[in-house]
Every structure is written in C-alpha cells, then in structure tokens.
Amino acid sequence: MAKMNLPNKLTILRVCMIPLFMIFLCVPMGLSDTVVRIAAAVIFALTSLTDMLDGKIARKYNLITDFGKLMDPLADKCMVFGAMLGILVYDGCASLRPVFVWAALIVMARELAVTSLRLIAASAGGEVIAAAWLGKVKTVTQILAILVILLEPLIPLTVCTEYHVLSYVTIAAMTVMTVWSGVDYFRVYGKYIKTV
C-alpha cells in the first residue's frame, strides 16, 4: 500500500474537491449567481493550488511514490474535465456554451491522446514522458480560462458583463496552447506509435 505522505494527501484532496466544485454549479441550491460563481472560483483556485504544491513538495523532500506518479496527472485531468463540465451545465454560463463546448472537446481529446501516448511510450520504449514546458503553460491557461469564465461577469464593465471579452480571449489562449502542446508531444514521442 502506498504511503500517504503529504503530496499524496494533497492529490487525494484535489480529487475530493472536484465534486464539491461541481455541486455549486450543477445542483440548484437557491444561491445567487454571484455567490455560486465566487464559491466555485474559490474552490477551483484552491484545487489548482494543491496541484502546484503536491509536485513541488514531492520533489523537494524526495517524497515521490508510484501512487503519486499515477494519481497526480489523473487528478489534474479530473480537475479540468470536472470544471469544464460544470461550466457547460451551469445556466449562468449559457451564453458561452456554443464556443466553450468546442474548446472543452479539444482539451479533453488532447488530454486523452497525450495520456495514451504516455502509456505507449512507457510500454514500448520504457520512457516516462515528463511534463514539458508547453504542457505546463497549457495547464496555466486552462486554469486561468476557467477562473475568468467564472468571475468575469462580476466585473462591472459592459465588455465583461455583456460581451465576455476576457472569457473569449482566455478560451482562445487555452485552445491554442492545448493544441500546440499536444502537437509538440506527438512530434517528440510519436515515434513510439510505430512500434505498437
């Protein structure tokens, strides 16, 4: 059984916080739109913070475990997928849905494709694919886009409350970085697909 050190506990905490985030967006509780958005944004921000902390702590104090190697990237994907699904369901974000649904599809497809590539590289070539710089930037843009989508309507400016300019800009940045980082992974590690 894997030792439940602090990084592993943070990973488990991240997984547990995802349903809590989704409850605020998906379950009618009679709360105002402002309260729902702020609560969801705070939970997501804290969830994202555990993502940053668990890896740093594990590397700094040599607390890397097989459990962490497996669960950390899985928890990251669950975090982003859960947030995107919650936003798609939440009626307060309905105006963004026609654009965001396609961005979410691209993100999910990319994450599943890269995860599959990692598995192929590990089994065919014995190589563990570490997170690349582009992948880290991609994750930051995903987190930023989700937070902006949740909080932008609370900014008392017409371009934000009516036109969602910041949301569209961050969705575009997230989509571009998602595709770019995915293409880069396949450029570098696509050679392993031929060996399967």
Q: What is the pLDDT of residues 128-179, one digit of tens each?
A: 666 678 888 999 999 999 999 999 999 999 999 999 999 999 999 999 999 9
Tokens of 27: 């379950």
Q: Which domain holds residue 68?
A: 6-195
Rounded Cα distance, 89 and 22, in Å: 9
**Rounded to 5 degrees, what angle do the CA atoms 106, 52, 186 make?**
35
Question: What's the chain's Rg over C-alpha atoms?
Answer: 18
Q: Is residue 168 part of a domain?
A: yes
If one counts the domains in the chain, the total is 1
Residue showing tokens 């654009």: 99
CATH number at residue 117: 1.20.120.1760
Query: Between the CA of residue 194 and those of 173, 181, 185, 191, what are the distances in Å?
Result: 31, 21, 15, 6
Q: How confident is the model at residue 104 (pLDDT cuts 50, 70, 90)?
A: very high
Rounded Cα distance, 160 and 86, in Å: 20
**Surface-to-core class of residue 89, CB atoms within 10 Å of its CB (0-12 exposed, 13-18 middle, 19+ buried):** middle
Q: Is residue 24 part of a domain?
A: yes
Q: Do the beta carbons of residue 190 and residue 117 sit within 8 Å? A: yes
Q: Is residue 1 part of a domain?
A: no
pLDDT of residue 177: 96
Q: Is residue 105 part of a domain?
A: yes
pLDDT of residue 48: 93
pLDDT of residue 129: 64
Q: Do the beta carbons of residue 166 and residue 147 sit within 8 Å? A: no
**Surface-to-core class of residue 20, CB atoms within 10 Å of its CB (0-12 exposed, 13-18 middle, 19+ buried):** middle
pLDDT of residue 3: 56
Closest to 178 (Cα-Cα) out of 141, 144, 152: 141
Q: How confident is the model at residue 68 (pLDDT cuts 50, 70, 90)?
A: confident
Q: Do the beta carbons of residue 123 and residue 60 sit within 8 Å? A: no
More confident residue, 26 or 125: 26
Q: How confident is the model at residue 2 (pLDDT cuts 50, 70, 90)?
A: very low
Q: Is residue 36 part of a domain?
A: yes
Q: Is residue 115 part of a domain?
A: yes
